Chain A
Amino acid sequence: MNRLPQPFWVGASAIALSLFFSRISPHFLTGENIVTILDQSSINIVVAVGMTLVIASAGIDLSVGANVAVCGIVMASLIKAGFGVLPTIAAALLTGALLGLLNALLVVKLEVNPFMATLAMMSLVGGGALIVTQGIPIYGFSADFSWIGRGKVGGLPVSALICTAVVATGGFLARCTRLGIYAAALGGNEEALRRNGAATRLYKTVLYVVCGMCAALASVILTSKLNSAEPLAGTMVEMNAIATVVLGGTKIRGGAPRIVGTLFAGILMGVVKNGLVLAGISSYYQQFVTGFIILAAMVISERSKKNGSKK
């Protein structure tokens, strides 16, 4: 059992749970509901892909939720000012990238511990969002814009398509470029990477920027889905993303990034969320069950590490 990678187990669990839920509710395994699950999971998965790369490098980004909120506000302001959809999205991506760059500045230049640096950023940026909006959501986007969160192409929600593109890009970066290798090396042995002449600070910076841009894309989906920018929209986004990453098999202390694992874990979390609702179980249990799944995943991966390899 230890030989099979965690993504396999997570994927198998998602399928098993789906079968289980389909026995409880015949509605669960319908095409329509599967599409709903993909749609609902997309925001979390998009954030989690960026988070996977950062966590692989033994970093963390707690500010993604605040990032989501701020990007929403930026987009709202631009749309209200008459900008088109594409420039608005570009501005959101730029905002996300800048916030990632700020995180990187703290972590790489000032050498603040990533947990504390991004915790501070979470407060600063999230607080800023509240100050600017006075805590009041901004409504009224154009129909073009809400198409992103609500529209469909060929029967598939646009959000799920964006999510697929992000997963593919993340998987490509992790698998086929130096960024993926160096993320794992930064997480496993940063000093070794440095001694071999790699530009460790540059790559670390890029990782945080990519993570910030993923949060911005998630914000595009969320804001258009809600058709409003809410200063508290990003609540729990970071926690869910971190849980998804770890559940997907990327080690919290750093190591190889597992994008496919993150995808499966995101779907598993979506299945749980959706299944519990369809089974008529109070949404209060959702968080509880999610916590249980994460604990189980952690225990299994810690045990397989002990049995599997030395150190």
Chain B
Amino acid sequence: MSALTLHDPMEQVLEIQALSKNFGRVEVLKGISLSLSSGEILAIVGDNGAGKSTLIKCVTGTITPDGGIISLRGKEFLSLSPRKSMEEGVSAVYQDLALVEDLDVATNLFLGAEPLKAGFLVDRGRMHSEAARRLKELGIDLPSTRARIADLSGGQRQAVAIARAVMQASAGKDAGIVILDEPTAAMGVRESELVLGIIRGLREKKMAVLFVSHNLPQVFRIADRICVLRSGMKLWCGKTRDISLQDVIAMMSGAPPLTAESAEVAGDE
């Protein structure tokens, strides 16, 4: 197994092997395997309840899988904690955004990684100026870094969560792994375009992007590869150009898989 991960160590940053997860009696993930390389955007699509968010939470260490191996930059893990996962370069925009409503934008952007002075004093001044700078860089327009999350719109909150993930991803020395769970769900057209631009920017910086979306046209525009999940199983995984939108919709909603795993084998070099 390790021979596989060592095969191309610079490229492949995430590999999931036979991942399974049950909630009580319900099998939510049934032996999922997939891989992700740096500089690549992989989209995961599937109907509601297919297991997309659960898969993501296993990689971010938020939940503990019941079986399978997750390899991050060649290190194998049977289970992860959020901190371990972050240390291996993973940052995420969760579907529920994981923001603290009562705290302001800057504090949320730096949550868990507050800039300190003298080793223990939170440097609020730097936090706000840095936050403003990073938001501007990303082209995200918010009333103020001092605005409380509770006072922002749904799309603005998503923008904050995305900005945080991007900041966390660029904090490490090596290019990170950015996971986005329906990051544009509450956004209008203009904001969605902005986010797609940000995601492409991550790819240019050689980051690996795992992207969950129900917006298939969006997926087809930016993903290099697509994975289709249904009821916790991987139905198809391959290059975006090898499949049509209609086929993906058909698979998501219950048609038999396209020549099954063949695409995966063919698709991965």
Residues of A within 8 A of B (CB): 176-178, 181, 184-185, 187-189, 191-199, 251, 255-256, 309-311
Contacts and interface: CB of A to CB of B under 8 A. Distances in A.
A215 B111 CA distance: 30
13 contacts: A184-B102, A188-B101, A188-B103, A189-B98, A191-B98, A192-B97, A192-B100, A193-B111, A195-B60, A195-B98, A196-B113, A256-B103, A309-B101
Given A188-B102, A196-B82, A181 B150 contact: no
B83 interface: yes
Interface SS of A by simple majority: helix
B202 interface: no
B33 interface: no
Contacts of B94: 195
B112 interface: yes
The CB with the most chain A CB atoms within 10 A, among B87, B97, B116, B150, is that of: B150
B185 interface: no
B145 interface: no
A194 B121 contact: no
A3 to B, nearest CB: 11
B99 interface: yes
Contacts of B150: 309-311
Contacts of B62: 191, 194-195
B111 A192 contact: yes
B86 to A, nearest CB: 5
B151 interface: yes
A256 B104 CA distance: 10
A196 B151 contact: no
B23 interface: no
Contacts of A176: 121-122, 124
A188 B114 contact: no
B240 interface: no
A196 B122 contact: no
Given A196-B112, A197-B86, A309-B151, A177 B121 contact: yes
A193 B124 CA distance: 18
Given A176-B121, A198-B112, A193 B100 contact: yes
B122 A178 contact: yes
A188 to B, nearest CB: 4
Interface in B109-154: 111-114, 116, 120-122, 124, 148, 150-151
Nearest to B86: A197
Nearest to A199: B83
A256 B122 contact: no
Contacts of B124: 176
Contacts of B114: 178, 181
A196 B111 contact: yes
Contacts of A255: 102
A197 B110 CA distance: 11
Given A178-B114, A178-B120, A197-B82, 19 more contacts: A181-B114, A184-B100, A184-B102, A189-B100, A191-B98, A192-B99, A192-B100, A193-B100, A193-B111, A194-B62, A195-B62, A195-B82, A195-B94, A196-B82, A196-B164, A197-B86, A255-B102, A256-B102, A309-B150
